[in-house]
Structure 1
């Protein structure tokens, strides 16, 4: 097994978070949206704590997930 570079880990994690953000945005059940919301915030915070994400990247992810959680404006 080869060791991943920090950049490769970051790219992989961002790809995974993008997939979850996409799933959340298409979810119609409130409970499922809440689960995705919490999971994404937790993952972003953990990756920031580990030094994978910068604070700006973490805040950008948090802003996006919060916007999705609010749903479309009517």
Structure 2
């Protein structure tokens, strides 16, 4: 899904999923949660790249960082 339709007071508004998620997160989660979630995604991408390069030592270190970050969520 790329877009969400918001119906509010007989008005329909088209919103990207990114903006919709930001709106929902902002109203339901604190900033620390959002920052940790972004860091989690970044670490996941780095792990994927390390595994593609068969750099298992780096992947192991990144997985340990990811595990610590997940504990905060």
Q: If the length of structure 2 is used for normalisation, what is the TM-score?
A: 0.44
Greater relative CO (CA pairs within 8 A, separation 6+): 1
Which is helix-richer, 1 or 2?
Answer: 1
Which is strand-richer, 1 or 2?
Answer: 2
Q: If the length of structure 1 is used for normalisation, what is the TM-score?
A: 0.44
